[in-house]
Structure 1
């Protein structure tokens, strides 16, 4: 595990090339998704996909990676106590270069207790609300990437707020309604 940890930290930066990275990738993603490394952080490991330009790889390789990323998101967004936390997962996905809109749309359905809890947690602790709009707190985000811009737009353009409003209609449990209400208040106060 120490060898993989060291490799994951500096792959495609100090050592290794894309073919070597492809060889180690399945195990690296598995370990990072389960937060098995004490270092590097998941964001660092998943950012290697972007650095390795996986979206230009063979179609079958892209399909497998996309399916893995989608499944990782689905299990974490619906988990009422995900580890790593949902902000880390979202940032990690964004750093891969995958299109985040479908992931945000999936989250916006708020179809599970976990999705509601995770949105509340993200909006209250993963976002800094400025007069100019939301800013994502995770220091690994690159503000120039489409992923970052997708999340900011989702938070600021009313999409997340509409998801919460829709969530009110489908929820009856008081504790979930309280979380939705607090999330709605924050999003509504900052909706453009």
Structure 2
């Protein structure tokens, strides 16, 4: 993979890498090199990417909070945009009679990365996001992503904001 230009790596190639990153293959330097393309594929070609919960959970394993403030800021800005994109996709499906779970996946992934969820969860209280908020409340707790089990703090934040409106 390191001999292929970064922009030419496919979702399937990256899927295999991300699945084993830090567990059976690669280290922080490899991950940092591949991360821009991993995130690009995660948004632009999600059917050929790992779940956001897995991708973003790898950030914690990469010790990303030790990276420079600028690098951390870029990741957080990307997550803000990814959440808004996922929320818009979920809301677009309301007209088709159902609601997607992309925003929840990004939230769970952010929690797995060790990020506080308040700024995204508060966003769900905006009037235009009410169908997604209502869906999360209806599915809480038993029908949410199984990845929440790996982030008890994030799950607690989710519960608090869903039902009390504040962290």
TM-score tier, shorter chain, comes to 0.7 to 0.9
**Pairwise CA distance, 1:40:** 2.9
For 2:47 and 2:119, the matched residues in 1 are separated by 28
Bigger share in strand: 1
Report the counterpart of residue 104 of structure 1 in structure 2: 121
Distance 1:19-1:48 versus aligned 2 partners, 3 A rule: same
Distance 1:43-1:143 versus aligned 2 partners, 3 A rule: closer
Find runs of 4+ consecutive structure 1 residues off by over 4 angstroms: none
**Pairwise CA distance, 1:71:** 1.0
SS of corresponding position for 2:26:
coil
TM-score (norm 1): 0.68
Distance 1:51-1:24 versus aligned 2 partners, 3 A rule: same
Matched, 1:148 2:155: yes
Report the counterpart of residue 40 of structure 1 in structure 2: 50
Q: What does residue range 1-192 of structure 1 map to in structure 2 within 5 Å?
A: 1=10, 2-34=12-44, 36-38=46-48, 40-79=50-89, 80-81=91-92, 85-110=102-127, 112=128, 115-125=129-139, 127-128=140-141, 137-142=144-149, 144-156=151-163, 158-159=164-165
Structure 1: 5+ residue runs without aligned partners?
Answer: 129-134, 161-192
Report the counterpart of residue 189 of structure 1 in structure 2: none
Query: Retained in 1: the 8 A contact 2:14–2:38?
Result: yes
Query: Over residues 8-65 of structure 1, what are the superposed CA-to-partner deviations in whole Å (9 max), with x where a residue is unaligned?
Result: 1111111111111000001111222345244632211111012212122111110110
Distance 1:121-1:96 versus aligned 2 partners, 3 A rule: same
For 1:36 and 1:117, the matched residues in 2 are separated by 23
For 1:87 and 1:108, the matched residues in 2 are separated by 14
Report the counterpart of residue 3 of structure 2 in structure 1: none
SS of corresponding position for 1:141:
helix
For 1:11 and 1:87, the matched residues in 2 are separated by 23
Number of residue pairs matched? 149
Root mean square deviation, CA, Å: 2.3
Query: Retained in 1: the 8 A contact 2:19–2:50?
Result: yes
SS of corresponding position for 2:110:
helix
